[in-house]
Amino acid sequence: MARRRDEEKVLDVNATMQGSLVFSDPVNLRINGRFEGNLKTKGNLIIGERATVFAEIEGENIIISGLVRGKIKSTQIVSLSSTANVYADIHTPKISIEEGATFNGKCTMIGEKLSLEEVADFLSVDKEKVIEWVNNGRIPAQKEGNGYVFDRREVELWVEQNR
């Protein structure tokens, strides 16, 4: 049976950590202890029931069962389980909140159309790089006024094809 690349990379953190963690390759990261700082991941980020996280979080699939304070930015989905206590501003295309979860903050849902800034943030590159790709026909975009608009599904498909 073939295993997906990100299923092979699992990191389970059950300690107190402070600082910045950045993963440029997909990984399944599970935090069960205390973390303070900045956290940037690709793949699945699971914050366990006993976890306490004070951070700016950027990731794809973010599943929260513990305490989180800070900012959360997801390119896929944020899921709050029934034991989650979240005090944060969330920026995500999809959110799931189970009954019993606590969420205090603001949630901004990414629409179907993305701005240049949102695409650059989603791809973790400078806006100038995205413009270069548009001008070279490497990434699909529509001209709107003096700028560009991107279809979220087309960008996600483009990412999959260019991994």
How many structural domains are present in the chain? 2
38 in the same domain as 117: no
Same domain for 39 and 16: yes
Task: Examine the domain organization and report whether 89 and 12 are in the same domain.
Answer: yes
The reply to whether 26 and 104 lie within a common domain is: yes
Tell me, yes or no, whether 92 and 30 share the same domain: yes
Structure tokens at 2: 């073939």
Closest Cα to residue 29, out of 45, 8, 49? 45
DSSP letter, residue 51: -
Least confident of 4-8, 51-55, 58-62, 79-83: 4-8
Residue 24's pLDDT band (cuts 50, 70, 90): confident
49 and 90 assigned to the same domain? yes
Q: Which domain holds residue 123?
A: 113-161
Of 47, 46, 75, nearest to 59 (Cα)? 75
Amino acid in the structure at residue 98? E
Q: In angstroms, rounded to a whole number, what is the distance separating the alpha carbons of residues 32 and 149?
A: 39
Domain of residue 132, CATH code: 1.10.1660.10
pTM of the shown model: 0.68
Beta bridge partners of 47: 31, 64
Whether residue 41 is found in the same domain as residue 119: no
E strands in 48-146:
52-64, 67-80, 85-92, 95-97, 102-104, 107-109, 113-115, 142-144
